[in-house]
Structure 1
Amino acid sequence: MNTPRTAIVAIAVPAHVSDQELANRLWRVLREACQPPDPPDPAFAFPDPASLEVTVYGCAAADLFNQEGSPSS
């Protein structure tokens, strides 16, 4: 069974691109990247493209984390 995981990615994006537009684009790119290879490879069993969720927070990575890498309070 797969264990849910969260990946945090910080990207510099032009100001005119909305958070929703960026989330939609990342979701499409990730779904494409998760397609199984052809011919199929049994070792490629993750992630399930249907499980992808993308949320964009319009802030810098430094605003999310302190120097130790843990969430800011």
Structure 2
Amino acid sequence: MDKSISDLMEAKRQIDSTLHKLRETIKTFEAKENPDRYKSQITLAKRRIKAFEISVDLIEREIRTLGADN
């Protein structure tokens, strides 16, 4: 799959937006009166954050690689 730098930057922008929303979701659940009730949702959001952070790192690496080729 051929990826342009602009495609990768847009993908990163979308992931960053999703990361922001997930972090806000965690804050909301943790601020609830009984946050233990939302433990599974918090755990899932944290796992998704970790996966997206790995994705962002890989995208940034690819952007640097493509930029160095030019």
Q: TM-score, normalised by structure 2?
A: 0.41
Asked which structure has the greater RCO (Cα within 8 Å, sep 6+), the reply is 2
Q: Which has the higher helix share?
A: 2
